[in-house]
Amino acid sequence: MSKYDKLKPDFSKGLLTVILQHYTNKDVRMVGYMNEEAFELTKNEEVAWFYSRSKKRLWKKGESSGNVQYVKDMYLDCDQDALLVMVDPVGPTCHTGTESCFNLAESFTLKDIEATITDRAQSTNEKSYTNYLLSKGTDKIAKKFGEEAFEVVIGSKNKDHEEVANEAADVLYHLGVLLYDAGVSVADVETVLAARHQKQNNFKGERKDINKW
Domain ranges of the chain: 11-89, 110-182
Alpha helices in 57-128 (DSSP H): 110-121
pLDDT of the residue at 153: 97
Counted residue by residue, the chain has a size of: 213
In angstroms, the CA 137 to CA 40 distance is 44
Summarised one tens digit per residue, pLDDT across range 55-86 is 999 999 999 999 999 999 999 999 999 999 99
CATH architecture of 110-182: Orthogonal Bundle (1.10)
Torsion of CA 158, 160, 166, 171, to 10 degrees: 40
In angstroms, the CA 11 to CA 35 distance is 7
pLDDT of the residue at 56: 95
Note down pLDDT in tens along the chain; length 213 residues. 889 999 999 999 899 999 999 998 899 999 999 999 999 999 999 999 999 999 999 999 999 999 999 999 999 999 999 999 999 999 999 999 999 999 888 778 898 899 999 999 999 888 999 999 999 999 999 999 999 999 999 999 999 999 999 999 999 999 999 999 999 999 999 999 999 888 877 765 555 555 655
Q: Tell me the one-letter amino acid at 104.
A: L
CATH class of 11-89: alpha beta
pLDDT of the residue at 108: 83
pLDDT of the residue at 206: 58
pLDDT of the residue at 209: 57
pLDDT of the residue at 207: 56
pLDDT of the residue at 78: 95
- Backbone φ and ψ for 100, nearest 5 degrees, come out as -130, 155
Q: Average pLDDT, whole number, for the chain? A: 92
In angstroms, the CA 177 to CA 42 distance is 33
Cα 86 to Cα 24, 40, 161, 196, 208, distances in angstroms: 9, 16, 35, 26, 39
